[in-house]
Amino acid sequence: GAVVSQHPSWVICKSGTSVKIECRSLDFQATTMFWYRQFPKQSLMLMATSNEGSKATYEQGVEKDKFLINHASLTLSTLTVTSAHPEDSSFYICSSLAAAHNEQFFGPGTRLTVL
């Protein structure tokens, strides 16, 4: 089946630093990837839709200058949390759309803790 990986699986950083999270489709090409965030014991909230070679589309209320998304290839999308603050601590999950199956496959998530 389709596999999506994320790196790192967890990260702890100091307030004010930037953190980059990678999302890779290991055995299929994904023209579209999605980024979600999940607070403890809550649902996944869609942050943005990332299309290969074009700018990401952000959901209402998500700061595009704070959460930089780059989808430079058909197998890699990155989310950079810039100038992270404790309120950015969350579980970030990416999802790749496999066009052949018209199905979303999810990465294992990255837990970000900002001190």
Partner 1 sequence: GNSVTQMEGPVTLSEEAFLTINCTYTATGYPSLFWYVQYPGEGLQLLLKATKADDKGSNKGFEATYRKETTSFHLEKGSVQVSDSAVYFCAPRSGNTPLVFGKGTRLSVIA
Tell me which residues touch partner 1 (CB under 8 A): 6, 32, 34, 41-44, 46, 49, 93, 95, 97, 102-109
C-beta of 82 vs 91, nearer to partner 1: 91
- The least CB distance from residue 16 to partner 1, in Å, is 27
SS3 of residue 88 by DSSP = helix
C-beta of 17 vs 42, nearer to partner 1: 42
C-beta of 54 vs 102, nearer to partner 1: 102
Cβ(109)–Cβ(6) under 8 Å?
yes
- The least CB distance from residue 6 to partner 1, in Å, is 8
- The least CB distance from residue 94 to partner 1, in Å, is 9
Beta bridge partners of 45: 37
- The least CB distance from residue 95 to partner 1, in Å, is 7
Report residue 41 as tokens: 């014991």
C-beta of 44 vs 76, nearer to partner 1: 44
**C-beta neighbour count of 28 within 10 angstroms:** 18
> E strands of the chain, at which residues?
4-7, 10-13, 19-25, 32-38, 44-51, 57-58, 67-73, 76-81, 90-98, 103-106, 110-114
